Amino acid sequence: MSAVAWHRILKLGLVFALWVGVTPSPANTASTRQPGSETLYLPCLARDADPRYETEPNGTEGRADVLLGSAIDHFGFHNTGPQLDSDYWRFTTTAPGLMHLSVTGLNGAGSSTTELGQVVVAQLGGGQVGYAGGPPYVITATLTTVDTYVVRVVSTRALDTGVYTLTVTYP
């Protein structure tokens, strides 16, 4: 069997395992045993099976991942090593109204570190609507116009390769 065929089989197997309900965990890499011990980053594979996962690159407003809808959990990962990692997400409202955002898991599981992240909500290309500079990462704001909004989630190395959950409820 060729290396390409083996890689495809492994990728499809991992994607299927994630699809049937494996919850994201800090163990986000897997190594193949045949041929050549390649390392695969599971968030990339998870995205193939579930569009609630972030895609890379998504480090600018122009490359922001689109939220699937209001009140749906989305998953992001810190994947830049010791550097800050900015993940951008966007959503479009259908009416003015109340927006509630929460991010959990941003400072890592059971972490008591002070190296935490931040969350910012802004109109696309416009002004800031809300900010959370530390836990709890919760923002509630009244959105006065029908518009596209951008969420920026900044994580630090404290998150390691762990997963965070972003949930935004909006009109």
CATH of the domain at 142: 2.60.120.380
Using DSSP, state whether 95 is helix, strand or coil: coil
Domain end residue (candidates: 31, 50, 69): 50
Domain containing residue 26: 1-50
Closest to 53 (Cα-Cα) out of 91, 93, 23, 82: 23
Indicate whether 148 and 129 sit together in one domain: yes
Q: What distance in Å separates the CA atoms of residue 17 and residue 21, rounded to the nearest whole number?
A: 7
**CA count, 13 A, side-chain hemisphere, 160:** 11
The mean-pLDDT minimum among 35-44, 114-123, 149-158, 161-170 falls in: 35-44
Closest to 85 (Cα-Cα) out of 114, 119, 111: 119
Indicate whether 13 and 32 sit together in one domain: yes
Indicate whether 32 and 72 sit together in one domain: no
Provide mean pLDDT across the span 84-112: 86
Indicate whether 162 and 94 sit together in one domain: yes
Reported as a pLDDT band with limits 50, 70 and 90, residue 4 is: very low
Report which of residues 125 and 13 the model is more confident about. 125
Place of tokens 């900010």: 131
Indicate whether 119 and 59 sit together in one domain: yes
**pLDDT surpasses 50 at 26:** no
Provide mean pLDDT across the span 16-20: 43
Instruction: State pTM to two decimals.
Output: 0.70
Closest to 168 (Cα-Cα) out of 93, 95, 108, 117: 93
Reported as a pLDDT band with limits 50, 70 and 90, residue 122 is: very high
**What pLDDT score does 157 carry?**
65
Indicate whether 69 and 123 sit together in one domain: yes
**What pLDDT score does 15 carry?**
46
**pLDDT surpasses 50 at 22:** no
Indicate whether 32 and 109 sit together in one domain: no
Indicate whether 148 and 70 sit together in one domain: yes
Q: What distance in Å separates the CA atoms of residue 128 and residue 65, rounded to the nearest whole number?
A: 19
Q: What is the CA radius of gyration of the chain?
A: 17
Report the alpha-carbon angle 138-76-104, nearest 5: 30
> Number of structural domains, the chain?
2
Provide mean pLDDT across the span 138-161: 87
Indicate whether 79 and 155 sit together in one domain: yes
Provide mean pLDDT across the span 129-156: 94
Indicate whether 93 and 144 sit together in one domain: yes
Provide mean pLDDT across the span 119-143: 94
**pLDDT surpasses 60 at 165:** yes
**pLDDT surpasses 90 at 143:** yes
Indicate whether 59 and 141 sit together in one domain: yes
